[in-house]
């Protein structure tokens, strides 16, 4: 059976994801689609709207064959480590292709871009330094440097301000390093842009707009998700379970920020150049998340970088722990859900996988897995107090969803 890898967050699984999965299967002629999915916390440093278990189930009902959790430390990362972690796992599970969505949509232009970037690396680096000194964040400085070098030299480069183009580049770089035999493919994203906040008149909308509609409890969103996602989400909400946002978890981060000494805060991964004092100061003055972010916001740090650092603090991930794990690739592949085909693929190919498949938490002894445990506990703290113990315990008790 031929497997293709997808790198996803499914927050939640909607028609755009369904379309991408179908197209990936056709384009790469795949028997099996393996999705590596972020768990409780996402790349942008936010809690996922729904738990990983519900999201993984929706993916299987929407046509994916296997959902593997991207370990939290690799999930809550900027594109480079996010891509390394995801590609590392997909490679270990024997995928022949990885197919990502992008605004650009032509895979050869990604490889061309990477070649040009290498060629002009020195000029780019010099410009980055200049833009950093002007007080820009690193991603912004890099954008500006790239733009300036490509204009000066009349290069045909990708628009890396488009978030999925940027991620796509990171995937291809990771593939080149980890296993160049994996074939990269891309599918042009339909209609919706990642950051679009409003629902439009079609059947595809951005996850951002769909989340907003779900949170506002408007039924308008039903047309943008497969019926299986719709049932899953409404059942979840009807059980009085929370749609998780930073607003629910911020009080915990706030209490940590204001009761932890600065020298200890500065051991947390992501706390650099006095960010710990800035965060503490804002936490002292803000009891609500939007106010906090408003106080913290600065040209120097991107919104995502700040949110990710809050996740590291929430889970008490220190620099030593993070750097230790990030110097390697993920050490396990945690199964969240599978179709019957997916299950067969695992059974038949297990011996050739270069990572152990964990279908229960107790099978893993890795310290990287302890971070996922803390993530599950932290996530459970956003539930009603009567639900917290059971929700935390799901990390150990939940059996992967297997479609018959």
Asked if 378 is part of the footprint of a second copy (rule: CB under 8 A), the reply reads: yes
Total number of residues binding a second copy (CB under 8 A)? Answer: 29
Q: Of 114, 132, 178, 252, which one interacts with a second copy (CB under 8 A)?
A: 252
The answer to whether residues 388 and 381 touch, using CB atoms and an 8 Å cutoff, is: yes
Cα angle value 209/213/217 (rounded, 5°): 170
> For helices 163-178 and 79-92, what crossing angle results, to 10°?
50
Cα(354)–Cα(332) distance, integer angstroms: 9
Asked if 323 is part of the footprint of a second copy (rule: CB under 8 A), the reply reads: no
Q: Which is nearer to a second copy, 132 or 381 (CB)?
A: 381
**Residue corresponding to tokens 């200049």:** 130
Residue 377 CB, nearest distance to a second copy (Å)?
A: 4
Asked if 208 is part of the footprint of a second copy (rule: CB under 8 A), the reply reads: no
Listed residue (15, 65, 86, 47) closest to 401, CA to CA: 65
Residue 264 CB, nearest distance to a second copy (Å)?
A: 6
Cα angle value 259/41/35 (rounded, 5°): 165
Q: Of 286, 293, 295, 355, which one interacts with a second copy (CB under 8 A)?
A: 286
Q: Which is nearer to a second copy, 126 or 390 (CB)?
A: 390
* Phi, psi of 155, deg, nearest 5: -90, 145
Asked if 321 is part of the footprint of a second copy (rule: CB under 8 A), the reply reads: yes
The answer to whether residues 85 and 37 touch, using CB atoms and an 8 Å cutoff, is: no
Alpha helices, DSSP H, located in 179-226: 207-215
Asked if 281 is part of the footprint of a second copy (rule: CB under 8 A), the reply reads: no
The residue range among 44-52, 118-126, 308-316, 325-333 that interacts with a second copy, by the rule CB under 8 A, is 308-316
Asked if 315 is part of the footprint of a second copy (rule: CB under 8 A), the reply reads: yes
Q: Which is nearer to a second copy, 155 or 326 (CB)?
A: 326
Q: Which is nearer to a second copy, 228 or 260 (CB)?
A: 260
**Which parts of 212-231 interact with a second copy (CB under 8 A)?**
none
The answer to whether residues 93 and 180 touch, using CB atoms and an 8 Å cutoff, is: no
Cα(12)–Cα(102) distance, integer angstroms: 18
Query: DSSP string spanning 5-36?
Result: EEEE--TT--HHHHHHHHHHHHHHT-SEEEEE
Asked if 377 is part of the footprint of a second copy (rule: CB under 8 A), the reply reads: yes
Asked if 258 is part of the footprint of a second copy (rule: CB under 8 A), the reply reads: yes
Q: Of 231, 234, 255, 360, which one interacts with a second copy (CB under 8 A)?
A: 255
| Two structure tokens written together for 146 | 């790239």
DSSP state, residue 356:
P
Asked if 284 is part of the footprint of a second copy (rule: CB under 8 A), the reply reads: yes
Residue 287 CB, nearest distance to a second copy (Å)?
A: 5
Q: Which residues are annotated as a binding site for ATP?
A: 7-20, 101, 164, 189
Listed residue (287, 403, 254, 293) closest to 337, CA to CA: 403
Asked if 370 is part of the footprint of a second copy (rule: CB under 8 A), the reply reads: yes
Residues that bind a second copy (CB under 8 A): 251-252, 255-256, 258-261, 264, 284-288, 314-316, 318, 321, 370, 374, 377-378, 381, 385-386, 388-389, 392
């Amino acid at each position: 059976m031929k497997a293709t890898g997808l790198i996803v967050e499914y927050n939640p699984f909607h028609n755009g994801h369904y379309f991408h999965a179908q197209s990936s299967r056709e384009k790469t002629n795949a028997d099996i689609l393996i999705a590596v999915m972020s768990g409780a916390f996402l790349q942008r440093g936010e809690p996922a709207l729904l738990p990983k278990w519900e999201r993984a189930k929706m993916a299987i009902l929407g046509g994916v064959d296997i959902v593997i959790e991207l370990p939290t430390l690799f999930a809550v990362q900027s594109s480079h480590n996010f891509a390394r972690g995801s590609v590392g796992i997909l490679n270990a599970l024997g995928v022949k292709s990885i197919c990502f969505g992008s605004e650009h949509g032509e895979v050869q232009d990604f490889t061309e871009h990477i070649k040009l970037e290498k060629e002009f690396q020195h000029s780019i680096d010099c410009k980055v330094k200049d833009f950093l000194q002007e007080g820009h964040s690193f991603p912004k400085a890099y954008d500006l440097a790239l733009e300036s070098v490509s204009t000066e030299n009349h290069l045909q480069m990708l628009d890396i301000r488009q978030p999925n183009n940027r991620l796509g580049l990171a995937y291809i770089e990771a593939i080149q390093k980890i296993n160049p035999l994996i074939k990269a493919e891309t599918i042009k994203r339909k209609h919706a842009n990642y950051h679009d906040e409003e629902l439009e008149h079609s059947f595809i909308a951005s996850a951002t707009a769909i989340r907003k509609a779900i949170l506002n409890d408007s039924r308008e969103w039903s047309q943008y998700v497969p019926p299986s996602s719709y049932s899953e989400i409404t059942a979840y909400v009807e059980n009085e379970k929370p749609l998780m946002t930073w607003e629910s978890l911020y009080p915990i981060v706030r209490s940590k920020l204001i009761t932890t000494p600065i020298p200890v805060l500065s051991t947390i991964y992501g706390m650099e150049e006095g960010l710990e004092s800035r965060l503490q100061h804002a936490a002292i003055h803000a009891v609500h998340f939007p106010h906090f972010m408003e106080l913290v916001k600065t040209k120097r740090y991107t919104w995502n970088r700040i949110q990710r650092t809050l996740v590291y603090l929430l889970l008490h991930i220190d620099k030593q722990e993070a750097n230790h794990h990030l110097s390697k690739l993920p050490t396990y592949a945690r199964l969240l859900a599978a179709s019957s085909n997916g299950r067969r693929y695992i059974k038949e190919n297990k011996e050739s996988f270069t990572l152990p498949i964990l279908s229960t938490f107790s099978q893993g002894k890795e310290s990287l897995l302890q971070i996922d445990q803390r993530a599950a506990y932290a996530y459970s703290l956003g539930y009603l107090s009567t639900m917290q113990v059971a929700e935390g315990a799901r990390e150990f008790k939940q059996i992967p969803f297997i479609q018959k």
